[in-house]
């Protein structure tokens, strides 16, 4: 007798909760404390509610372009609530809309991309957050170099 079918999204959610639940709880417990001279880190950069509201069914995801490999393949990170839930690799030649660091609303049908709509506002927000993070980290390195020069 066959058991109930479980969607891929539900299975990934369950596996992530089981596998990373303890790690997330440990990380979250210490996340409020930032050592002096260190940048505050927000690992996920929770997307605005308006962006998340675009995801209306189990086959829709927010997808961030992680990288383009050899100009031929696009590696997408599918997200739910700002957390990665799956990785998808597709040929760039079939989906020229994907650009480096872009964020998209992706609809899948039978594990294939049915629609990919750019989310320009979210892309700009994430680029700005990453630039700020890099500036902060670079500033920390400059501060450390200055302290080394003083000694």
> Residue 90 has what pLDDT?
94
The answer to whether residue 47 is domain-embedded is yes
> Residue 89 has what pLDDT?
95
The answer to whether residue 34 is domain-embedded is no
First to last CA, the chain: 73
The answer to whether residue 27 is domain-embedded is no
Per-residue pLDDT reduced to its tens digit, 85-126: 999 999 999 998 999 889 999 999 988 999 999 999 999 998
> pTM above the 0.75 mark?
no
Q: Are 106 and 62 in contact (CB under 8 A)?
A: yes
- Domain span at residue 126 reads 9-18+43-150
The answer to whether residue 137 is domain-embedded is yes
The answer to whether residue 67 is domain-embedded is yes
Q: What's the structural domain count of the chain?
A: 1
> Residue 52 has what pLDDT?
65
Average pLDDT of span 24-36: 39
How far apart are the C-alpha atoms of 31 and 39, rounded to whole Å? 12
The answer to whether residue 58 is domain-embedded is yes
> Residue 46 has what pLDDT?
55
More confident residue, 36 or 119: 119
The answer to whether residue 92 is domain-embedded is yes
In the block, which residue shows the tokens 């709509």?
117
The answer to whether residue 129 is domain-embedded is yes
């Amino acid at each position: 007798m066959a058991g109930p079918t479980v969607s891929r999204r539900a299975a990934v959610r369950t596996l992530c909760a089981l596998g990373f639940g303890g790690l997330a709880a440990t990380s979250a417990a210490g996340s409020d404390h930032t050592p002096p001279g260190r940048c505050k880190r927000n690992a996920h950069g929770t997307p605005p509610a308006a962006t998340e509201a675009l995801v209306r069914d189990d086959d829709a995801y927010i997808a961030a372009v992680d990288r383009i490999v050899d100009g031929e393949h696009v590696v997408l990170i599918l997200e739910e609530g700002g957390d990665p839930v799956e990785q998808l690799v597709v040929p760039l030649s079939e989906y020229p809309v994907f650009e480096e660091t872009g964020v998209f609303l992706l609809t899948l049908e039978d594990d294939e991309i049915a629609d990919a709509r750019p989310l320009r506002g979210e892309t700009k927000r994430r680029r700005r957050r990453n630039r700020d993070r890099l500036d902060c980290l670079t500033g920390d390195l400059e501060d450390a170099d200055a302290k080394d020069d003083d000694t």
